[in-house]
Amino acid sequence: MTMLTNFDASTIQYISILGSIIFIVLMILLIRNRKIKEEFSILWLFFGIVFFVLSVWRGSLEVIARILGIAYAPAAIFLILIIAIISILIHLSVIISKITDQNKILIQEVGLLKMEFDILKGNCKISDPENFKAD
Amino acid sequence: MVKPRRILAIVPSYNEEKSIAHVIGSIKNSDPSIDILVVNDGSTDNTGSVAKSTGEAFIVNLPCNIGIGGAVQAGFKYAGRNGYDVAFQFDGDGQHLASEIKALLEPILKNDADVTIGSRFRAKTAGFQSTLLRRGGIKIFEILNSLLIKQKITDNTSGFRAYRREAIHFLADHYPSDYPEPEAVLLLGRNGFRLKEVSVCMQQRKEGKSSITGMKSGYYMIKVLLAVLVSALRTRIG
């Protein structure tokens, strides 16, 4: 019985504060150990701080909910969470696209260089050396 | 005397060990002055060594498979850097016919066009016409690209194409990846290159199988339609 009554409204607040702190510390450790580059961690850190602020200042959620016209204030937390996740995923898609493009260029250049190297070494029988004449 | 123009055949190939030697031989037979560049797109079979053993082609062995767009683009880079006046794409699967090369190159050599596209549909040719479903897809590209570049291109998926120097340099930097053909038509048309279709005959592939079957056809249509529509929103490049 005492266990149950101990779970009042502030318990979740402590958990949230602790969770946010652990999250932010984890991100900083990952950056420190060079597991994540700074530029890719900015969004994560930003939302970590947002959730820390929300858990310390509980009234803020009510304020946001009222401004946005959300009847049930805790639902606002899901909205913010979803925005956070979607923006990070879009950011990752942009990065992947850029890396794919760079990767393609590298593969093309490696292929072309290997061919020129082979021909210059004389490993290739092709009889048209016009492209590889010394300037 | 006018210096003869240097022509490069770009032959993208992925696991075509059975047809590649024949393809190289047929191009050389049609015109021995044409240089051939085989772009071996990370094949898992012996395409590279078979092509090399012919002794008649330059071989680029890409270390990984990057898809036809990237492979052909590697060819444009090579052609551009080595001062070729004309380059044409000729698939390694034996689908394109060497006997049609002359017709494909003619408008380019006469300076009537910057890009020529070998079309199976411009005049009803006897050869390979593809399946009904695919022709339906190709028709959609025809309508869409006609609206966007105000020129009727009947065979937007054809890879049998020839390019003048300016187009080679442009595509070396801007060729689309994945399924590049319909998007490239739009890109070239919107950037002021003169396109011209040439009626050609094609053959059903002898060996290997099409890279686009089943579920992939749906993905192909969606991806290419998206790419075409989005590039219509872009401003001109370069």
When pLDDT is cut at 50, 70 and 90, the band that residue A135 belongs to is very low
Q: How far apart are CA B8 and CA B40, in angstroms?
A: 16
pLDDT of residue A132: 52
- Identify whether the C-beta of residue B51 lies closer than 8 Å to the C-beta of residue B21: yes
Contacts of A112 in chain B (CB under 8 A): 60, 74, 77-78
Nearest to A108 among B55, B59, B77 (CB): B77
Report CB contact under 8 Å: B74, A131. no
Contacts of B56 in chain A (CB under 8 A): 126
Report CB contact under 8 Å: B52, A107. no
Q: How far apart are CA A22 and CA A2, in angstroms?
A: 28
DSSP B94: S
Q: How far apart are CA B102 and CA B122, in angstroms?
A: 17
Query: By CB neighbour count within 10 A (0-12 exposed, 13-18 middle, 19+ buried), where does A10 fall?
Result: exposed
Contacts of B78 in chain A (CB under 8 A): 112
Higher pLDDT, B141 or B78: B78
Report CB contact under 8 Å: A115, B61. yes
Nearest to B63 among A111, A124, A128 (CB): A111
Report CB contact under 8 Å: A111, B177. no
Is the pLDDT confidence value at B208 over 80?
no
Picking from B7, B28, B34, B58 by the largest number of A CB atoms within 10 A of its own CB, the best residue to mutate is B58
Is the pLDDT confidence value at A133 over 50?
no
β-pair type (B35-41, B7-13): parallel
Contact A104/B at CB under 8 A: yes
Predicted interface score ipTM higher than 0.95: no
Contacts of B60 in chain A (CB under 8 A): 111-112, 114-115
Picking from A97, A104, A123 by the largest number of B CB atoms within 10 A of its own CB, the best residue to mutate is A104
* Mean pLDDT within B190-195: 92
Q: Does an H or E element contain A10, and which?
A: helix A9-32
Is the pLDDT confidence value at B213 over 80?
no
Is the pLDDT confidence value at B194 over 90?
yes
Contact A99/B at CB under 8 A: no
Coil, helix or strand at residue B186: helix
| Residues 15-74 (B) with a CB less than 8 A from some CB of A | 35, 39, 52, 55-64, 66, 70, 73-74
Tokens 């898992």 belong to which residue?
B44
Q: Phi and psi (nearest 5°) for B55?
A: 70, 15
Buried b vs exposed e over B122-149: b needs ≥16 C-beta within 10 Å?
Answer: beebeeeebeeebeebbeebbebbeebb
pLDDT of residue A82: 94
Higher pLDDT, A2 or B156: B156
Contact A124/B at CB under 8 A: yes
pLDDT of residue A126: 60
